[in-house]
Amino acid sequence: MSLVDDLIAQPDFFADPYPAYSILRDEAPVIWSDTWGGWVITRYEDVAALLRDYRRFSSAGRIQYILDRLPDEARSRTALLEAHYRVGIAHMDPPDHTRLRALLAPWFTPRHMESLRPRIHALAAQLVDDALLRAQAQGGRADLMRDLAYPLPAIVVLEMLGAPAADATQLRAWALDINLLFSGGGRAPVARVEQAQAGLAAMRGYIGDLVAQRRSQPSDDLIGRLVAAEGARLDDSELISTCVTLFVAGHETTTNLLGNGLVALLRHPGEMARLRVQPALMESAIEEMLRYDAPVHRSWRIATEDVLLRGQTIRAGEMVLLMIGAAHRDEAAFAEAERFDIARSENKHMGFGLGIHFCLGAPLARIELPEALHALLARTADFTLIEEPPLRWRHDIALRGVEELPVEVRL
């Protein structure tokens, strides 16, 4: 077993991967993992460079890479996954990526996102009030993932798309199933692939119904705008794939950003107290949350040609796993990288990616997070993380987050 495969096999890896990342950065910054089916890259300089190099490291073909490693019998049943991920903004390179991004960009400008702030402010306040009422009935305990971090971004993105907010729970369940496909790098067990395809089929059917409604009854929501552009600027397969991506990526990353950020604050009570008395630090606090325990822990690409990197030859067609979480603790890029500092000023994190695939929803997340935290801090005198039993972290190398976030609340 290689160094990386030995490290990631440790039982506490997902609870705290940072010691393993430190070893890899020092001893094997570019290393092949049989377990994850790809090259593991852990230094900031390398991760940043490869994220920007879309010509040699492509976003296209990543799902096919996973599917092609399945047993033949299982591979024969994955036509839907292959067709869906052949298109869509997250799985394309220029010029198709450029075309789709230009179509979506007007919806995600800072100015347009700012117009949503009153609704996000009201929704965050309502969710926190409901959570505290529930906590009063449960001996002062709340689950901030269930009560706040899950519903806030899901409802916001559904309202943008033009889907009923009441459907958030069902859509999130499908999204969790779909994300199983990405949770293990370049390999995925057959059972996870099948569960992901079932969730994808259900979500595609749901979105297909919304698209059909917009074709007969035009609307000014995001799905309505995409339908209006259909034919001239995108086709039906791109429309459905892009809508799935907008929901799955549009809420999942923000959910985990809020959850991980709250864990960091609760484990560093001095920083929590500092934020309460210095609310002007909120902006830098959000950026530090994106660095310190990033919700997107790894990005991934397919090499389009042979590349020599730190003495290792990455062959054309091989998977490259860009470990953003590891890069964010690189002392060569961040002073005192292991320290959580909500006033950090030099913070070149990659929490929203880099290059042509930089997250469209970054301006939205930068509104949702402070509104949620302001609502929570304004309504509670104190809340304490409950870590007995220990927090359950998702066994997912792509998306880092806790399953629940139990706290004891004092009003």
Which DSSP string corresponds to 319-385?
A: EEEE-HHHHTT-TTTSTTTTS--TT-------TT--GGG--TTHHHHHHHHHHHHHHHHHH-SEEEE
Nearest-angstrom CA–CA distance, 266 and 18: 18
216 within 8 A of 179, measured Cβ to Cβ: no
SS3 250: helix
**How far apart are the C-alpha atoms of 347 and 339, rounded to whole Å?**
12
Q: What is the CATH number of the domain that holds 29?
A: 1.10.630.10
Burial 106-117 (b: 16+ CB within 10 A, else e): ebbeeeebeebe
Q: Whole-angstrom Cα distance, residue 225 to residue 232?
A: 12
Give the phi and the psi of residue 59 in degrees, each rounded to 5: -90, -10
The pLDDT score that the predictor gives to residue 228 is 87
Helix axes 151-161, 236-267, angle to 10 degrees: 160
Residues of the chain with pLDDT under 50: none
The torsion angle over the Cα atoms of residues 270, 271, 272 and 273, rounded to 10 degrees, is 50
Tens digit of each residue's pLDDT (9 = 90 or more) over 9-52: 999 999 999 999 999 999 999 999 999 999 999 999 999 999 99
Q: What's the Rg (C-alpha) of the chain?
A: 21
Separation in Å, CA 43 to CA 26, 50, 328, 347: 9, 11, 9, 16
The pLDDT value recorded for residue 103 is 85
Distance of CA 337 to the CA centre of its chain: 21
- Count: domains in the chain: 1
Beta bridge partners of 300: 321
pLDDT in the model for residue 298: 95
Q: How far apart are alpha carbons 34 and 38 in whole angstroms?
A: 7
33, β-bridge pairs: 38
* SS3 call for 187: coil
Contact 254, 360 (CB under 8 A): no
Could you please report the per-residue DSSP string of 108-165? GSHHHHHHTHHHHHHHHHHHHHHHHHHHHTTTTEEEHIIIIITHHHHHHHHHHHT--G
Contact 53, 307 (CB under 8 A): no
Strand partners, 39: 32, 320
- What string of DSSP letters covers 56-113? TEESTTHHHHHHTTS-HHHHTT-HHHHHHTTSSGGG--TTHHHHHHHHHGGGGSHHHH
For residue 4, which of 383, 256, 298, 374 has the smallest C-alpha distance?
Answer: 298
Range of the domain at 306: 3-410
